[in-house]
Structure 1
Amino acid sequence: MLRITDARTGEPVEAAPARRGLTRVEAHPQGSDPTDLRVLLVADLLVRALELGGTPVWALLAGERRQAELRAAGAALGVRPFEDGGDAGTGLGEAQVLHVVGEGGTAPDGVRVAVAPVHGEAPAPADGADPAALRLVLLARPRSEPVTVGPAALGAAADTLDRWRRAVADWARRPSRPVPDTVRADLRTAWEDDLDTAGVLEVLHAAETDPGLVDGARFETYAYADRLLGLDLTRGLGSPT
Structure 2
Amino acid sequence: MNDPFLVSARELTKTFTIGSLQVHALRGVNFELRQGEFSALVGPSGSGKSTLLNLIGALDSISGGELMVLGHDISKLSKEERARLRLSSLGFVFQAYNLVPVLTAVENVEFVLELQGMGSEKRERAMAILGELGLAELAGRRPAELSGGQQQRVAVARAVVSRPKLVLADEPTANLDGPNAQSLMELMLNLNRRHGMTFLFATHDPRIMNLAGRVITLTDGVITCDQVQ
**TM-score interval, normalised by the smaller of the two chains:** under 0.3
| TM-score between both structures, scaled by the size of structure 1 | 0.27
Q: TM-score, normalised by structure 2?
A: 0.28
